[in-house]
Amino acid sequence: MSSNIEDIINIHGRGPGNLIQILQDIQAEDSYLSVDSIASVSEAMAIPESRIYGVATFYKQFKFIEPGEHMIKICQGTACHVKGSTPLLDVLESYLAIKPEETTEDGKFSLERVACLGCCALAPVMVVDNEVYGKMTQEKIGELLDTLRNGGDE
């Protein structure tokens, strides 16, 4: 077992109530839950792997495939929906040539739909690498992707 997983488990404790927190912390470090890390958690906490998968697949937050370099989350909550987030998703899908929950071939971008980021007054909203972009338009998306592609962080 990698020492990090052991540390994380020690911080939270081995009680079954801490499983979700432990998985969250592992994902925060590795950006996804690998087959190996689930096996390690199973062994360390004496919980069958099937049970861990059962819990982890229930929650949308957990990922089992390594995501791309930039994580693009597009809000599909109600406020964003009525302000036109569906066409924004269409534009993203065609620019990136992927569907939601997929990663581009070059491993640069992953696309995810989320239901409300709590910034509804700025609808429609996108989050790229944990930075919130409000009042988005189809046009702004193109510009944002260009800067990300060129390595800028803005």
- Smallest distance, ligand FES to C-beta of residue 81, A: 7
- Smallest distance, ligand FES to C-beta of residue 117, A: 4
Place of tokens 């993203």: 92
The partner in contact with residue 11, picked from ligand FES, another protein, none with C-beta cut-offs of 5 to 8 angstroms by kind, is none
Pairing of strands 70-75, 109-114: parallel
Q: Which spans in the chain are helix H?
A: 3-12, 19-30, 35-45, 49-58, 78-82, 85-96, 138-149
Nearer to another protein, 4 or 133 (CB): 133
Using CB under 8 A as the criterion, which residues of the chain lie in contact with another protein when the complex forms?
A: 15-21, 23-24, 54-55, 58-62, 76-84, 87, 90-91, 94-95, 114-123, 130-134, 137-139, 142
Instruction: Decide if 111 contacts 69 (C-beta within 8 A).
Output: no
118: nearest Cα among 80, 71, 92 = 80
Q: How far apart are CA 8 and CA 24, in angstroms?
A: 10
Nearer to ligand FES, 20 or 116 (CB): 116
Q: How far apart are CA 49 and CA 106, in angstroms?
A: 31
Nearer to ligand FES, 16 or 118 (CB): 118
Using CB under 6 A as the criterion, which residues of the chain lie in contact with ligand FES when the complex forms?
A: 75, 77-80, 116-120, 123, 125
- Smallest distance, ligand FES to C-beta of residue 126, A: 9
Nearer to ligand FES, 55 or 122 (CB): 122
